[in-house]
Amino acid sequence: MGFYGVLGQERPQQIILQALANEKLPHAYLFYGEDSVGKKKIAWELVKALNCEAREEQGACGRCGPCLKIEKNQHPDVHFLEPKKSSPTARMSSIKIEPLRELQQRLSFQSYEGHYKAAIIDGADLMNPQAANSFLKTLEEPPARTIFILIASNPHNLLPTIVSRCQGIRFLPLSPGDVRQIIAQQVEQGNLEIDEGELELRALRSGGRIEAALDEDLLRICERRGEFLNLIQNVSFDHMSKIFEWCKVVAKQTDDLPACLREIAHLLRDLAILKSCGETGAIVNADMRDELLAVAETKSLETLLRMFQSVSKTLFDLKFNFNVQLALESMLIDFCEAA
């Protein structure tokens, strides 16, 4: 398939293709940006191109033995590592030192059949401190003809010394057009059954992320937009009993909570856009334009931005096992202060 088969992310593809053409590859890349925007797909295409027996101008041929083995994750010189949960009840996944040491041992051997040994580390920003320090030593003295591809959503969580030893490539969210085309391909291949109207809604509401566009709960969460918009409009210290009751109810909806908070963030984003420039073509919730305009008239831009910042902070805090109900209550108190 090569890189031409990957929709979007033209700039990262150009950087990598130029490095391949000039045969000037770093020993480590850091692909960073939002989840589900193509980082992992391009990482696999890079590894295939490095070991392809018939490399083409746009990357791997996709047909030779090494390409097919890598496609199935069966190539002996290509390794993949991702975060795991320490227990079924754990909220956070992480990369611990034991699997990392196993990877380091495998990479210390000579290659079996490939031109390059390669390690793709997905969620590299979720290495625990012991794993990160151990991996740093490997980056300082990398094995010969070995390339590391670190994939991270939050590169600031990585050790600065690890980041400094990698060539960073930023991946931006996909355009709605790219998302629409990728979903359409899934429909054509028989993997999805959605109509044109739903496809358009999913593309617009994806935030440039394929995973979000294909979320089974997306439409159900969308049905709660009126509830969230009403919350934004009417939140105040005069209604604290209702606020605490809302927090208590929503805190129990643990599976839906991140999606609900992202939905509130989308609404606040749209309100800020309408308040600042009145541009309706850029809003995600275009079907709620009139309702949004009415709310935007009642809020200052500073208020909307402070609310948005509070939602973002709450989403971040919940990744680290914060008490859910307290986090929500704190967010809505911020809303009251902003209002």
**Coil, strand, or helix at residue 124?**
helix
When the pLDDT of each residue in the chain is averaged and rounded to a whole number, the result is 91
DSSP string, 197-221: HHHHHHHHTSTT-HHHHT-TTHHHH
Per-residue pLDDT for 4 more than 90?
A: no
Query: By CB neighbour count within 10 A (0-12 exposed, 13-18 middle, 19+ buried), where does 46 fall?
Result: buried
The pair phi, psi for residue 12, each rounded to 5°, is -55, -40
**Strands 117-122, 146-152: pairing kind:** parallel
Q: What is the CATH number of domain 216-338?
A: 1.20.272.10
Residue 113 near residue 80 (C-beta atoms within 8 A): no
Q: How far is CA 193 from CA 180, 184, 208, 219, in A?
A: 14, 10, 21, 14
* Selected residue with higher pLDDT from 288 and 39: 39
Residues sharing a CB contact under 8 Å with residue 38, sequence separation 6 or more, in sequence order:
6, 7, 8, 9, 12, 171, 174, 210
**Coil, strand, or helix at residue 320?**
coil
Query: By CB neighbour count within 10 A (0-12 exposed, 13-18 middle, 19+ buried), where does 286 fall?
Result: middle
Question: For the residues 233-250, what does the mean pLDDT come to?
Answer: 91
**Coil, strand, or helix at residue 273?**
helix
pLDDT at residue 193, rounded to an integer? 86
Per-residue pLDDT for 74 more than 90?
A: yes
Q: How confident is the model at residue 200 (pLDDT cuts 50, 70, 90)?
A: confident
Write out the two tokens for 109: 């051997």
Least confident of 85-89, 194-198, 286-290, 309-313: 85-89
Domain ranges of the chain: 3-170, 174-214, 216-338
Q: How confident is the model at residue 1 (pLDDT cuts 50, 70, 90)?
A: low
Predicted model pTM: 0.80
pLDDT at residue 100, rounded to an integer? 95
Q: What is the CATH number of domain 3-170?
A: 3.40.50.300
| Alpha helices (H) in the chain, listed in sequence order | 10-22, 39-51, 65-71, 97-108, 129-140, 160-163, 176-188, 196-204, 210-213, 218-222, 225-234, 240-251, 257-277, 289-296, 301-318, 324-338
Per-residue pLDDT for 78 more than 70?
A: yes
Residue with tokens 């969460």: 221
Residue with tokens 């979720």: 126
CA 210 to CA 182: how far, in whole Å?
8
CA 225 to CA 214: how far, in whole Å?
18
Q: What is the largest CA-CA distance in the chain?
A: 70
Residues sharing a CB contact under 8 Å with residue 76, sequence separation 6 or more, in sequence order:
112, 113, 114
